[in-house]
Structure 1
Amino acid sequence: MRALSTRSVAEGMQALARATADPTSTVSEAWPMPGNAGLSFGCDVVDRDGTTPLVIRLAPPGVRRRGNTDVLRIVPLLDSLAAAGVPVAAVRWSVDDPRWFGTDAVVQDRLDALPLHMADPALSATVSVPHALAQAVEVLARIHATPPPPGWPEPRPLAEEIDFWAPMLGRSSEPAWTDAGTALHDALLAGIPDDPAVGVFHGDFHTNNILFDADGTLAAVVDWEISGVGAQLLDLAWLAMFTDPGCWEPAFGARMRVTADPAWLRERYETATGRSTGTFDWFRALACYRFGVITVFNVYLHRSGKRVDATWEDRARSILPLLHRGLEFLR
């Protein structure tokens, strides 16, 4: 657990900077960054050239490196994206030597930018929703045009993607969740698209993971931990789900700060990519299934005491709306 101490993170970053960059470097403190399961920290490195704001992303100590627990896997992707003109936070260090943080780490620039936050105006950039979303779709088209890094795994077939989430649905404590999730699972399997566009996808593409400068210009897309190679239309469907009040329980939908017409998002994406999106509604259903099941699983972790987080109780009210909305898309 050494890697989760703010003091040890600051000490590790100072030692790394002194050993590899400037022996006069100092780091006085580190602090937890929002989200990322307590594995992301901010700090400032001060050396003879000035102050460099950084974000340190750590692999969970003692956990097998696979998927989103393998923080180093995103480094070649970030290099490929930057080379393709996709705005991302630059990587300063990537290390697998445990002497610095006790675990693997990726250290990136911390940008003076904010997301278009879906819930909290205090955490949000000042940018109009249409302007922000138009830029988001344009950059998504550039992401989807970026070749996968060499050596990345082959894409998971859509049938496997759907079945992957089924065991998590089995953790449901509510029969209605199980019934609706199973019905959506079966309906998705029955209508899998024949030839989806496959390539790099972000995996969690919404406006909380897109940063904007003070003038409203898109500065970077962040949080690539669940990125991969697969059916790319899921990214657009994910953005549509998080901007569609009809996917959520009414009280939550009524207070959503960032909303959009899915047809508008779809049209802009088709223009930016030159692709047809005839299977968009199927992928919207998959997005609803995926996040609905993720919520089921996190509610289970909270209620069982394995990972207590009361925010999932609030989100639990949207499980049935998500699953039912997904079934609507397939009908």
Structure 2
Amino acid sequence: MSPPAAALDAPRMAGLLAPWARERHGATAVVRDVAPMPGNAGLSFGFTVGHDGGAERLVVRLAPPGVRRSGNTDVLRQVPLIGALERHGVAVAPVLWSTDDPAWFGTDAVVQPYLEARPLPMHGPAGAAPLDPDVVAHHLRQAVAALVPLHAVDAAAALPGWDEPRTAASEVAFWGRLLERSPEPDWVGAGRRLGAALVAHDPGRHRVGVFHGDFQTHNVLYDASGALAAVIDWEIAGVGPVGLDLGWLSMMTDPACWHAERRAVLATEADPADLLRWYEDAGGAPLPDHDWYRALACFRYGAIAAFNLHLHRTGRRVDEVSALMGGGVPVLFERGRALLDNASA
């Protein structure tokens, strides 16, 4: 078993998975149907293992080889988190196996079950009608209800030493550093002003706990009956103000947060007031500063989109989605400031 020396593709990954499968499931185990998973830059593969007991569909997620393990590049960071969430009734895909031994795949890896489930689409064809509001409400009610047990996890007891708690100010500072790498000076200036206003108007009564960090429609999966199956993609989860999660989902599904090109392909829309009401109806503790968290989400995503557009334009990471989202940076910052003005009125 030797570490990969070249970029991973499906055939190469199949060769690495074969000895792993035999070690785990016996000498007759075979691997088939290896394919990259969407949205993971070739670092996540679905595959089937056939063995004497039958067959199972799995997913292997890899840390980027040769990259310092931190945040979303540290797949093993998710192992204790997912275990704790599973014990506390949060719908997750359990970790079946993990390793920091590079002999298997040349990098850290985790294996989880492949879920036969799908998300609500975030985008659709330009000009297409939004999804049926009743369908959206049925699914999003379940999504915000899934946040309730997550936000109730006692991080200090369930995950001692797992993550340093973040404050609202440190969250603004972290994403602000990313914004500074954008080559668009007007965007940087607008983002700086919004970040400063967020800190100046920080309500200071944040409920602190475990947050997902990227709680949006693509990261919540539903089975064929429409029942919530799992919340996925915990790469940027942390400990800090939990209101960020609902603010993030509100921003992603609110047409007022987006420029014309993004609004034209927005498939899932929701009234932020409905999301907040559904959260509290499901037993979530009140979040009195929802507009502030929505403004924080606009700042956070604006910083990410500005940086990703820079990577796209320079050819460092070509991605047409980044091109689409990047054009909305000024609108996100403007919307964030309007939400702050409303929150402090």
TM-score between the two structures when normalised by the length of structure 1: 0.94
Structure 1 residue 110, shift from structure 2 partner: 0.3
Task: Indicate yes or no: 2:149 matched with 1:142.
Answer: yes
Query: Secondary structure of the residue that 2:197 maps to in structure 1?
Result: helix
Match of 2:83 among 75, 79, 85: 79
Aligned match of 1:63: 67
CA contact under 8 A between 2:148 and 2:283: conserved in structure 1?
yes
Match of 1:234 among 237, 240, 244: 244
CA contact under 8 A between 1:3 and 1:103: conserved in structure 2?
no
Task: Indicate yes or no: 2:135 matched with 1:128.
Answer: yes
Cα distance change of structure 1 residues 224 and 3 upon mapping to structure 2, 3 Å threshold: farther
Aligned match of 2:95: 91
Aligned match of 1:319: 329
- Could you report, residue by residue, the CA deviation over 1:103-129 in whole angstroms, capped at 9, with x for unpaired residues? 0001100011111111148xxx99911
Match of 1:301 among 301, 311, 317: 311
Match of 1:25 among 17, 23, 29: 29
CA contact under 8 A between 2:9 and 2:36: conserved in structure 1?
no
Structure 1 residue 195, shift from structure 2 partner: 2.4
Rounded to whole Å, the distance in 2 between the matches of 1:253 and 1:210 is 21
Rounded to whole Å, the distance in 2 between the matches of 1:235 and 1:174 is 28
Rounded to whole Å, the distance in 2 between the matches of 1:276 and 1:86 is 19
Rounded to whole Å, the distance in 1 between the matches of 2:211 and 2:221 is 18
| 2:242 maps to amino acid | Q
Cα distance change of structure 1 residues 274 and 202 upon mapping to structure 2, 3 Å threshold: closer
- Could you report, residue by residue, the CA deviation over 1:109-159 in whole angstroms, capped at 9, with x for unpaired residues? 0011111111148xxx99911000000011111111123323212212221
CA contact under 8 A between 1:80 and 1:147: conserved in structure 2?
no
Identity of counterpart residues, as a percentage?
51
CA RMSD of aligned residues (A): 1.8
- Could you report, residue by residue, the CA deviation over 1:68-97 in whole angstroms, capped at 9, with x for unpaired residues? 111011111111111122221122211111
Rounded to whole Å, the distance in 1 between the matches of 2:242 and 2:8 is 34
Aligned match of 1:176: 186
- The runs of 4+ residues in structure 1 deviating greater than 3 Å are none
Rounded to whole Å, the distance in 1 between the matches of 2:284 and 2:212 is 19
| 2:150 maps to amino acid | I
CA contact under 8 A between 2:21 and 2:31: conserved in structure 1?
no
Structure 1 residue 246, shift from structure 2 partner: 0.3
Match of 2:58 among 49, 54, 59: 54
Aligned match of 1:213: 223
Single out whichever of 133-142 and 273-282 deviates more from structure 2: 273-282
Single out whichever of 86-95 and 104-113 deviates more from structure 2: 86-95
Task: Indicate yes or no: 2:104 matched with 1:100.
Answer: yes
Query: Secondary structure of the residue that 2:48 maps to in structure 1?
Result: strand
Query: Secondary structure of the residue that 2:316 maps to in structure 1?
Result: coil
Number of residues of Structure 1 aligned to a counterpart in Structure 2 = 328
Structure 1 residue 2, shift from structure 2 partner: 3.9
| 1:22 maps to amino acid | G
Aligned match of 2:128: none
Rounded to whole Å, the distance in 1 between the matches of 2:275 and 2:81 is 25
Cα distance change of structure 1 residues 291 and 91 upon mapping to structure 2, 3 Å threshold: same
Structure 1 residue 310, shift from structure 2 partner: 2.8
Rounded to whole Å, the distance in 2 between the matches of 1:292 and 1:38 is 25
Gaps of 5+ in 1: none
TM-score between the two structures when normalised by the length of structure 2: 0.90
Structure 1 residue 173, shift from structure 2 partner: 2.6
Query: Secondary structure of the residue that 1:91 maps to in structure 2?
Result: coil
Structure 1 residue 175, shift from structure 2 partner: 2.9
